[in-house]
Amino acid sequence: SIIERIPKVLQKNESVAYAIAHAAREREMEPEILHWLEIAVDNTDANKPAPDLRATLATAILQAFEKRHDVQSGMQITSADKKRLEHALALLDDAIGTLENSETLKYRTNWVGNRAVAHKLLGHQDKALADAELAIKLEPNNPGFLRQKAFLLHEQGKSDDAIIIFKQILGNPKV
């Protein structure tokens, strides 16, 4: 393969590893995406936090779980699953923390939504709801975040509150 022809030292370069991960994503080569994104994150400059790269890896980890019905249906996650989800959560915490006191976070609301998903999958319902609410605060008319909050409320037994949000989604042309 072409990757084998790339010198090993260059394969560990953050930009090269990211480019390989991007090519793997275009070819829907899931294990390779994660592998190369991990290499890119592991080889970032210690003086540069690289929040976009960290969030990209976290998103790829979560997308791998999206395809698994056993996880999405709420069945027990394995210890290996838990470790991966906690890794995604830590990456998102780092990425969001880097931008927390800046206007830039408004352009990365999907990171907050993804962190809510990670919390939900790990069983941290209150933290998931708090992140869903933060995402809505940053992007009030995003139907995905509103829907996420409604489902979390429903799962917590607050179906009346969830119904209000669903009606808000249906009744708002901006949503």
Residues 6 or more apart whose CB falls under 8 angstroms from that of 20 comprise 3, 6, 11, 32, 36
**Residues 91, 86: Cα–Cα separation, whole Å:** 9
At 174, the pLDDT band (50, 70, 90 cuts) reads: low
Share of the chain above pLDDT 90, in %: 70
Residue 172: pLDDT above 80? Answer: no
- The model's pTM: 0.87
pLDDT at 162: 95
What integer pLDDT is reported at residue 171 of this predicted model?
Answer: 84
Determine the average pLDDT of the residues in 162-172: 90
Q: For all residues of the chain together, what is the average pLDDT?
A: 90
Q: What percent of the chain has pLDDT over 70?
A: 94
> Is residue 163 scored above 70 in pLDDT?
yes
In this prediction, residue 108 carries a pLDDT of: 95
Give the list of residues 6+ apart from residue 4 with CB closer than 8 angstroms, or none: none
